[in-house]
Amino acid sequence: MGIIEPERRPAAWQLGIAKRLRAGEGLVGVVLKMPAPALAELAGHVGLDLIVLDTEHGPNNADLLEHHIRAADSAEIPVLVRVSANDRTQILTALDAGATGVIVPHVNTAEEAAAAVRAAHYPPMGDRGFALSTRAGRYGTKRPESHIGDAANHTIVIVQVEDAAAIPHVADIAATSRLDAIWVGPSDLSMSLGHPSQFSHPEVVAALDEIESKIRSAHNARLCVIVRKKDDSRKWRRRGAGIVLFSAMEVIGDQFAEFASDAIADELHGAAIADGHRPAGPLPDFT
């Protein structure tokens, strides 16, 4: 196939996230489980910085993944894909589908981190397989030098530290060349330490503090965290987190729970409200 659009460049929103992260800016994103193309678009429309499509704890069909990245592209929001393992084929599939970067779980050593980086980058930085026939290569219409250059400058690689075995190696992991961030996984970490979901347990808190300190001391990879409350996001921002993530399922679930609370439920069901009166008539239909 010939080169159809030789001068076309990626949009600024596609290129900016890596530059912003490496320049020290803070980013906010949401973790989605597929299928959720409308939520992917919505995340872009409301102004979030990025989406994480979770294929470790959610569906990982390649066609489904590509369609969700298309949906995100339509709303001009970059996509990172959390793969299910440190597997070069999964990393390649995500990047060929047009993802801006990948998140690799359960990385316990610097060697494993370096392997993830290599799988995500073309030679000489890595050993990612090359093809322009992919969505990332605009199905053969992108110049090779342009595709390779954009991938080198703008591909993001994040690894997850979420096992007790990784703690002694965090400093070396964080110093890995071309590693952009480390996502500290509190759920698996607490499980690994023998205190599942006890995030305030002294041993879990001490481990999180140690990991955070080692990441900051490396002056290379940024800290990435996932939170549930806005107050927690502010706390981690003050501690230097470069990426703060929210889980879409938790955000939606918390809102559902609020709507289902007794006070709101009684009001919506027509029970007497604060002034002792009921609504005069049926509510209008806004659908």
Cα separation, 66 vs 51, whole angstroms: 14
Under the banding of pLDDT at 50, 70 and 90, the label for residue 11 is: low
104-145 pLDDT, tens per residue? 999 999 999 999 999 999 999 999 999 999 999 999 999 999
pLDDT recorded at residue 287: 47
Q: Full-prediction pTM beyond 0.95?
A: no
Q: What is the mean pLDDT of residues 179-184?
A: 98
CA angle 242–248–253, rounded 5-degree value: 130
For residues 248-266, give the mean pLDDT.
84
- Angle, nearest 10°, between helix axes 62-74 and 88-96? 40
CA dihedral 121, 127, 129, 132 (to 10 degrees): 40
Q: Which residue has the higher pLDDT, 55 or 272?
A: 55
Q: Which residues contact 261 (CB under 8 A, 6 or more apart)?
A: none
What CATH number does the domain containing 187 carry? Answer: 3.20.20.60
- Say yes or no to pLDDT of 200 above 80: yes
Taking the C-alpha atoms of residue 157 and residue 218, their distance in angstroms, rounded to an integer, is 16
Identify the helix (H) or strand (E) that includes residue 227: strand 222-227
Q: Quick check: is 106 catalytic?
A: no
Residue 190 has pLDDT above 70, yes or no: yes
Cα–Cα nearest to 128, from 181, 88, 97: 88
Q: Kindly state whether residue 107 falls inside one of the protein's structural domains.
A: yes
Q: With bands split at pLDDT 50, 70 and 90, how would you rate the model's confidence at 204?
A: very high
Domain containing residue 206: 12-263
Query: Is residue 160, in this structure, part of any structural domain at all?
Result: yes
Mean pLDDT score, 28-52: 97
pLDDT (0 to 100) of residue 14: 61
pLDDT band with cut points at 50, 70 and 90 for residue 1: very low
Is the pLDDT confidence value at 92 over 50? yes
Nearest to 91 by CA among 73, 105, 74: 105
Per-residue confidence (pLDDT) for residue 278, from 0 to 100: 52
28 pairs with which residues across the strands? 244
CB 173 within 8 A of CB 197: no
Q: Higher pLDDT residue, 282 or 190?
A: 190
Total domains in the chain come to: 1
Is 283 part of a structural domain of the chain? no
Asked if 114 and 121 count as a contact pair (C-beta separation under 8 A), the reply is no
pLDDT in tens, 59-81: 999 999 999 999 999 999 999 99
Give the pairing of strands 50-54 and 27-32: parallel
Averaged pLDDT for residues 213-223:
96
Q: Is residue 287 part of a domain?
A: no
Q: Is residue 6 part of a domain?
A: no
β-strand pairing of 181-184 with 156-161 = parallel
Tokens of 179: 């590693």
Q: Decide: 18 and 12 in contact? Cβ < 8 Å.
A: no
Range name among 14-28, 153-167, 194-208, 240-254 with the lowest pLDDT average: 14-28
Q: Is the pLDDT of residue 286 over 50?
A: no
Task: Answer whether residue 281 is part of any domain.
Answer: no
Position 159 scores a pLDDT of 98
Q: Which of 57, 106, 154, 269 is catalytic?
A: 57
pLDDT at residue 9 above 70? Answer: no
